[in-house]
Structure 1
């Protein structure tokens, strides 16, 4: 079916737009009317609605000044202007694009508020075309260049191998360690009919070989899995017809890349074998860190659906890309027409469902190189940059800074800071089996331990216990609009653990550990205020053990301990019993809090004066408290344990004299803690 374009769109070229501002329509209403018949105008109108506020659109349609605009915009001009923006390949964090502006030239307005309305669409070209040599952006969906992901993967991986010293140094081919088992996808020199797919033991290989690793969501589509029962058979032959679609596509992609071996957890860890599962779970840093490439099936929520095909247009319900003349060379204006470029709604950088899963977090963090099949497009991420299908290149060092596998992990304060920042990103992720909480990050913990040389106690480091104990619910501490409240971990729907009921709360960590809850928690990691945590004069608790150990008994504290549902801290500190009084309503970013008043006057306080007959004495509040689970019934008794000079833990005491965390507090009147005798606190 022939494309329908208006007279203006059919004559536009990117060369014209790149060299000058062009009047596209006399006003926004003209664009809206043209969008009913012209597919290019329809794409622009869709983008205007997508990228501009309803109020600004309505004002421009009524030819009135939008509320955000400055007085300089009140010039009576409501023309719609276009201007192209082009970047040499690999130099910009935005794609080649065309800007639309209302009421002022794009070149004059830029991103300033003097324009009444502004938005943009992306520009891309097909590979192996004259325009493709100039424009870096590509577009691969089920209906447009569906096989481009293979070309993109080969190109970016080859460039990284050749020119990225930091990536090659992080995983030298000669020093590569392979996983215990991998999938042999077959000798590529043989015809497909003669290739045999099977599981191999890497100890039987003469020397380490390059391999890919898969990171994906299992969902309900995972079919054939390695087990003790089929182990011997899979060493001879792995029937691809019985594998899930995601597994099959990962095998096919590995072959296309010219790599012979592939690691997939379901097929390389013996499922149902607890000993093998625990052993292999501790090796994830090696598995993903040494992989030649990690394939991240980000856009797929179920392994039965596959991940190679991008259904961006159908899932997002956006107009199809529309062609446009490229024109001659942009700078010289000479030479033949470069052919066709395309306009499209700008695609996002979201990875997809994989970004919500706990197990996939560590896999991405530990990978040296990753090919990410995101929701809208494919991207390649290494330690130097992230390159997107649409031509964007993010020179972002955050991956190197966050990854504790980088060649120089840094000082102890830096590693601790990264640990807390890592947990802020990890804790919102979902786990089907809640008890996997420590297994999901065991490799990161092992790497962290290599620098800190401290005991790992249920997710906290013994060398930094005061700060570690003061985790906070992100939802309760900051804007509730953007975060979810923390909850109690619920037993897996498939649980077979004694005493657990599917969907009912379970205990997977002591009350003082962040792993006791599910949902996003955070710590103060701002280097400018870090001194308040590391300065011993600010710490108000200490271990009872003369050797400086915070626990009693035979607790090893190794970071590879995968289960730690209970652990007692033995502390000396100042604890004050309090009562809840009035609720402080949320102001600014602070949510509702509970004012806490000491049950007894501070020992150093003077006796209260006699009450006047006309009123009562004003209470003295010791702290403003925040409960971890505000909807739960309030405990029968509440204590404030001062951890640092300005913050502490809300505790409750059980019938055995043990304390349990129920929240945290900010000090309101530090004098109330003066003179309080240090006492023993057993925190469980």
Structure 2
């Protein structure tokens, strides 16, 4: 029987599938023509019920806004796929495409067909001001595994042609993409406005014929080259052999020179799949050179120096290719785009047209594995032109145009910005205009985006944004003749130091993963990786706070050439700040300790405090779950601080001991005034009288404006 089955012809195999469709799935996949001449399955009947529900709600109230309960639509994605493919159900084809388009990565699209993730498919109707949506979901027993949406309209929208090359391979149409790239380079001002210099990278990968490449010195004259932005991946989730392949792509050196194997033509097949496909895309668009970090920064090269030149490498590139569809360097960037297996056509149910929206540019940017990697933040924000290669289509972003393959994007689809710019290019535009306030705001945005990302090596904490720091400094220095007063201080900037010191964490971090071996306690860079921070709040600096100096750091250089690079390298070495400001204890000596649960109240969706059980007494309390610390002096308003770290369990072997504030040491906390309603929470460094380490921050205490009245101004060291 097995041999007979295996010898079935393709037509017989299709017949077997149809028998299965007619048997096991007949209830939900049997179709019939509807009033619009389109195929409609039983699942579509459930969608029609949702549309009827929306009609009833609108008859009752023309201003109705709300969402229906979910209705079962299909048993799983495979059944949905078979209904779309074998039954030809037009609605299921729209729904199938919606699920696939919602997957940024190629792995996400593949996982829809994973036998272990075949869960029921549901649909709900969302009636809103922005237009009705069918919200789709695939629900596991205790979680939603996949989400997608289909838009509804009263008029038929333009149906673009499928963004694939003719034939069964479903590959990208490079001719269409080439037109977009050429239009930018030939007709947009951004082709010259944001170019940093006429310098090429030190090394480039030259693309030859027949899948051959070689490493060459960057030509003396400027050339058009593409830069690859990708994720190496998490080595803990790979086999040793796979991680060795990724690491093995690095160019080795002999006596400081790349090995001959790389200087002579070699096969692209020796490189990981993401790099191979990036080379194919680059060549298909007519470019001869590509820059890939591990290949074009040979081992033995001064990595610190090369890292601080990233503003030049990315700023001078023809465009940056962001490998949004890859979770690791051994993933293919090019693969079949199965969302377009069926012809793109109009579909209608109960008078409503159904159509697929392209996911927004921000959804693709922030939903890709590349966005979780620390190094790629500066790669994106230093790039004037970016090609995001997602699982089912590409996106182009430059300061003058955003395109989702065959579909123009409005600025509202990328970022609601008063300037109309999409987020990737905001940093470069502000650097170009040189507005000082906007520059400082942009740096704080960089910090928030950066601290939540991961790094393969924690010691790269400063290196991975060094290019951004150099670009920021140079934006403040208008010419080589003007040196300015700005200094880089371990991830912060001198001219607005008080504001930059007032960063906070959303939730106290795990002290065991701190990075104070690389950065001082007062810098956000000392936090563990992947911590969410807040840097943006109303801030007015205190007239009593000032920076005195940076003990132990080399004086500022007089040199003007490459000064930004020198300033950044010097800034990494700053460990201690000497400052002056008003200092006092955060909790009075006679305060009583309270249980957090006894004083916290939830009222009207906000948190309040009730100290009625401690009438006339100064009180303090600490929430050891999230790091909040509250102090209330008798007959005055309370003030709430946020500690940077959770307490350890007391084990002296843990790295976090000495970093966090131990339970019971709350009265040892001092506070240094930074602004009208901003203070640092400090603890005296062991064995010193005037040196303090940061343990947290307190912001927005409007009910205690006089907290520092009468306090003396002191000079202290922050370390």
Q: How does 1:49-448 map to 2 (within 5 A)?
A: 60=53, 65=57, 70=61, 111=130, 121=150, 135-136=159-160, 138-139=162-163, 146-171=170-195, 176-186=198-208, 192-193=209-210, 196-202=212-218, 205=219, 207-219=221-233, 220=243, 221-222=245-246, 223-229=248-254, 231-271=259-299, 273=300, 275-309=301-335, 321=342, 324=345, 344=356, 347=359, 349-351=363-365, 352-389=368-405, 391-395=407-411, 397-399=421-423, 402-404=426-428, 408-448=432-472
Partner of 2:68: none
- Unpaired runs of at least 5, structure 2: 1-13, 22-28, 66-89, 92-101, 103-122, 137-147, 234-242, 415-420, 477-483, 558-565, 608-625, 649-661
- Alpha-carbon shift at residue 323 of structure 1 (Å): 5.4
Partner of 1:645: 676
Tell me, what secondary structure is at the counterpart of 2:706? helix
Computed over aligned residues only, the root mean square deviation of the Cα atoms, in angstroms, reads 4.4
Could you say if the C-alpha distance between residues 143 and 619 of structure 1 is closer, same or farther in structure 2, counting changes exceeding 3 Å? farther
Could you say if the C-alpha distance between residues 347 and 675 of structure 1 is closer, same or farther in structure 2, counting changes exceeding 3 Å? closer
- Is the Cα contact below 8 Å between 2:272 and 2:330 reproduced in 1? yes
Partner of 2:713: 678
Could you say if the C-alpha distance between residues 171 and 143 of structure 1 is closer, same or farther in structure 2, counting changes exceeding 3 Å? same
- Alpha-carbon shift at residue 462 of structure 1 (Å): 0.7
Aligned partners of 1:72, 1:302: CA distance in 2, in Å? 48
Tell me, what secondary structure is at the counterpart of 1:651? strand
- Is the Cα contact below 8 Å between 2:403 and 2:409 reproduced in 1? yes
- Alpha-carbon shift at residue 596 of structure 1 (Å): 2.1
- Is the Cα contact below 8 Å between 2:253 and 2:259 reproduced in 1? yes
Aligned partners of 2:637, 2:205: CA distance in 1, in Å? 64
Q: How does 1:586-625 map to 2 (within 5 A)?
A: 587=602, 588=605, 593-596=628-631, 618=634, 620=636, 623-625=639-641
- Alpha-carbon shift at residue 471 of structure 1 (Å): 0.4
- Alpha-carbon shift at residue 507 of structure 1 (Å): 2.2
> If the length of structure 2 is used for normalisation, what is the TM-score?
0.64
- Alpha-carbon shift at residue 73 of structure 1 (Å): 6.4
Aligned partners of 2:212, 2:336: CA distance in 1, in Å? 29
Q: Does 1:577 align with 2:585?
A: yes
Partner of 1:669: 704
Could you say if the C-alpha distance between residues 354 and 72 of structure 1 is closer, same or farther in structure 2, counting changes exceeding 3 Å? closer
Could you say if the C-alpha distance between residues 621 and 102 of structure 1 is closer, same or farther in structure 2, counting changes exceeding 3 Å? closer
Aligned partners of 1:183, 1:60: CA distance in 2, in Å? 59
Partner of 2:504: 472
Could you say if the C-alpha distance between residues 510 and 167 of structure 1 is closer, same or farther in structure 2, counting changes exceeding 3 Å? same
Tell me, what secondary structure is at the counterpart of 1:594? strand
Tell me, what secondary structure is at the counterpart of 1:467? helix
- Alpha-carbon shift at residue 378 of structure 1 (Å): 1.4
Match of 2:534 among 505, 522, 525: 522
Could you say if the C-alpha distance between residues 449 and 137 of structure 1 is closer, same or farther in structure 2, counting changes exceeding 3 Å? farther
Could you say if the C-alpha distance between residues 169 and 665 of structure 1 is closer, same or farther in structure 2, counting changes exceeding 3 Å? closer
**Deviations, residues 68-109 of structure 1 (Å, cap 9, x unaligned):** 9837769xxxxxxx99xxxxxxxxxx9xxxxx9989xx9xx9
Q: Does 1:541 align with 2:555?
A: no
- Alpha-carbon shift at residue 650 of structure 1 (Å): 0.7
Q: How does 1:459-538 map to 2 (within 5 A)?
A: 459-473=491-505, 475-476=506-507, 486-488=509-511, 490=513, 507-518=517-528, 519-524=531-536, 529=538, 532-533=540-541, 538=542
**Deviations, residues 160-180 of structure 1 (Å, cap 9, x unaligned):** 2233223343339xx632100
Tell me, what secondary structure is at the counterpart of 1:368? coil
Aligned partners of 1:201, 1:387: CA distance in 2, in Å? 34
Aligned partners of 1:650, 1:463: CA distance in 2, in Å? 22
Could you say if the C-alpha distance between residues 280 and 102 of structure 1 is closer, same or farther in structure 2, counting changes exceeding 3 Å? closer
- Alpha-carbon shift at residue 429 of structure 1 (Å): 0.8
Could you say if the C-alpha distance between residues 325 and 552 of structure 1 is closer, same or farther in structure 2, counting changes exceeding 3 Å? closer
Match of 2:687 among 639, 655, 675: 655
- Alpha-carbon shift at residue 389 of structure 1 (Å): 2.1
Partner of 1:601: none
Partner of 2:7: none
Could you say if the C-alpha distance between residues 306 and 585 of structure 1 is closer, same or farther in structure 2, counting changes exceeding 3 Å? farther
- Is the Cα contact below 8 Å between 1:122 and 1:346 reproduced in 2? no
> If the length of structure 1 is used for normalisation, what is the TM-score?
0.68
Number of matched residues?
534
- Alpha-carbon shift at residue 358 of structure 1 (Å): 0.5
- Alpha-carbon shift at residue 589 of structure 1 (Å): 5.9
- Alpha-carbon shift at residue 430 of structure 1 (Å): 0.7
Partner of 1:634: 663
Could you say if the C-alpha distance between residues 167 and 656 of structure 1 is closer, same or farther in structure 2, counting changes exceeding 3 Å? same
Tell me, what secondary structure is at the counterpart of 2:304? helix
- Alpha-carbon shift at residue 231 of structure 1 (Å): 2.5
Aligned partners of 1:522, 1:224: CA distance in 2, in Å? 37
Aligned partners of 2:355, 2:63: CA distance in 1, in Å? 31
- Is the Cα contact below 8 Å between 1:141 and 1:309 reproduced in 2? no
Could you say if the C-alpha distance between residues 664 and 375 of structure 1 is closer, same or farther in structure 2, counting changes exceeding 3 Å? farther
- Is the Cα contact below 8 Å between 2:184 and 2:191 reproduced in 1? yes
- Alpha-carbon shift at residue 363 of structure 1 (Å): 0.5
Tell me, what secondary structure is at the counterpart of 1:408? helix
- Is the Cα contact below 8 Å between 2:550 and 2:574 reproduced in 1? no
- Is the Cα contact below 8 Å between 1:486 and 1:628 reproduced in 2? yes
**Deviations, residues 136-177 of structure 1 (Å, cap 9, x unaligned):** 4645599976322523421210222233223343339xx632
Tell me, what secondary structure is at the counterpart of 1:121? strand
